[in-house]
Amino acid sequence: MTTKYETGAVLTGKVTGIQPYGAFIALDDQTQGLVHISEIKHGFVKDIHEILSVGDEVKVKVLNVDEEKGKISLSIRATEEVQKQREPRNPRRQGTIKTETTQTTNEGFNTLKDKLQEWIEQSREELIKK
């Protein structure tokens, strides 16, 4: 790295390569950085190719500079404002709530109150037998 880049700097770079995990951005003729897929944009990114193409000029923010390894971590997302949450794509339908009348039956699960009374009676019977 001939040019020193500082964390927090906002720069313009050119997409030089795309991998499933991120995009490589040329900051100058000799320096490249990586924008991880999670830093491409706010929200979920399934396929980077749907957002970026090789040769695109992008605005990036320097997240981290590791001079020992010669790596620069970049973010496109950090240069964009968070978009307001849109309404869900498939909003739940609003409708009336149907109420069903419940009938008491002895089928299925008993309530704890009913079972408790039954257990107390069983315990009494056991005590009387002894």
Q: Tokens 């590791």 correspond to what residue? A: 66
- Judge whether residue 64 has pLDDT over 80: yes
Q: What is the pTM assigned to this prediction? A: 0.59
- Judge whether residue 103 has pLDDT over 60: no
Dump pLDDT digits (tens) for 3-48. 688 899 999 999 999 999 999 999 988 889 999 999 998 888 889 9
Give the whole-number percent of the chain exceeding pLDDT 70.
Answer: 75
Higher-pLDDT residue of 84 and 129 is: 129
DSSP string covering 16-79: EEEETTEEEEESSSS-EEEEEGGGSSSS--S-GGGT--TT-EEEEEEEEEETTTTEEEEESGGG
Q: Give 118's DSSP letter.
A: H
Distance of CA 19 to the CA centre of its chain: 20
Q: Looking at residue 55, what is its pLDDT?
A: 93
pLDDT category of residue 112 using cuts at 50, 70 and 90:
confident
> Do 109 and 60 touch, CB atoms closer than 8 A?
no
